[in-house]
Structure 1
């Protein structure tokens, strides 16, 4: 199954570039539009978290793989501290921040996680330092149609 890798520097433009990368790959693979929208949203949240919260490192490495029935996206950063889900308050909603991991959790129906040893799909390259934060989305299996 195909996998793709994007390396982003620690810049404010990285979430936008990561969103475009994921959208381009999934559209080229002719996947469903709602899956693409969900993947873009979750990717944006994870890469934004790296830009705002991760300390150290040279930016992010985004790895995307489409496997039988599943899309997996992993965002690696140079910070070993785990992501923190903030307590949702009225102030959180008014400020407009702190909801990212709640969104990822809701969109993926809890299929996300993190850790220092999240596998990196490219065997020829060492796994990036720090942690990986990942999410999975179901990909409908395409049935072969008769001509």
Structure 2
């Protein structure tokens, strides 16, 4: 099955570029519009977290794979610390922070996680040191293959 990779430097523009990258790949594969919306939002959240919270100065690497019945997106960064779901309070809601992993959890039905080195399709792809934060979404095609 196809897989795609994007290098995300530690810049404010990286989440936007990552969203566009994921949307473009999924549209080219003729996947469902709701899937594209959910995948781009989840991607934006985890790339933003990598750019804001990861201590590795080299940025992050986004890896996207469409497998039988599943889309997996993983974002590798240079930080070994696990992601933290913060409690959402009125104050954090006003500031706009702390909701990202809650959104990812809700949109993926809890199919997300993190790990130091995740194999895909029996292979280990080169990636930055640190961890990967990943999510899975079910794949529905808009047209017959």
Please give the range of the TM-score, normalised by the shorter of the 2 chains: over 0.9
Using the TM superposition, give the Cα deviation of residue 141 of structure 1 relative to its aligned residue in structure 2, in angstroms: 6.3
Using the TM superposition, give the Cα deviation of residue 120 of structure 1 relative to its aligned residue in structure 2, in angstroms: 5.3
Structure 1 runs (4+) greater than 3 angstroms displaced:
120-125, 141-145
Q: What TM-score, normalized by structure 2, do the two folds share?
A: 0.92
User: Paired residues, what number?
Assistant: 145
C-alpha separation in 1, matches of 2:142 and 2:31: 10
Instruction: Tell whether the 8 Å contact from 2:76 to 2:130 is kept in structure 1 after alignment.
Output: yes
Which consecutive unaligned segments of at least 5 residues does structure 1 have? none
Partner of 1:97: 97
Using the TM superposition, give the Cα deviation of residue 126 of structure 1 relative to its aligned residue in structure 2, in angstroms: 2.5
CA RMSD of aligned residues (A): 2.0
Check 1:27–1:84 CA distance in 2 against 1; reply closer, same or farther (3 A cut): same
Rg bigger for which structure? 1
Instruction: Tell whether the 8 Å contact from 1:3 to 1:121 is kept in structure 2 after alignment.
Output: no
Using the TM superposition, give the Cα deviation of residue 46 of structure 1 relative to its aligned residue in structure 2, in angstroms: 0.2
Q: What TM-score, normalized by structure 1, do the two folds share?
A: 0.91
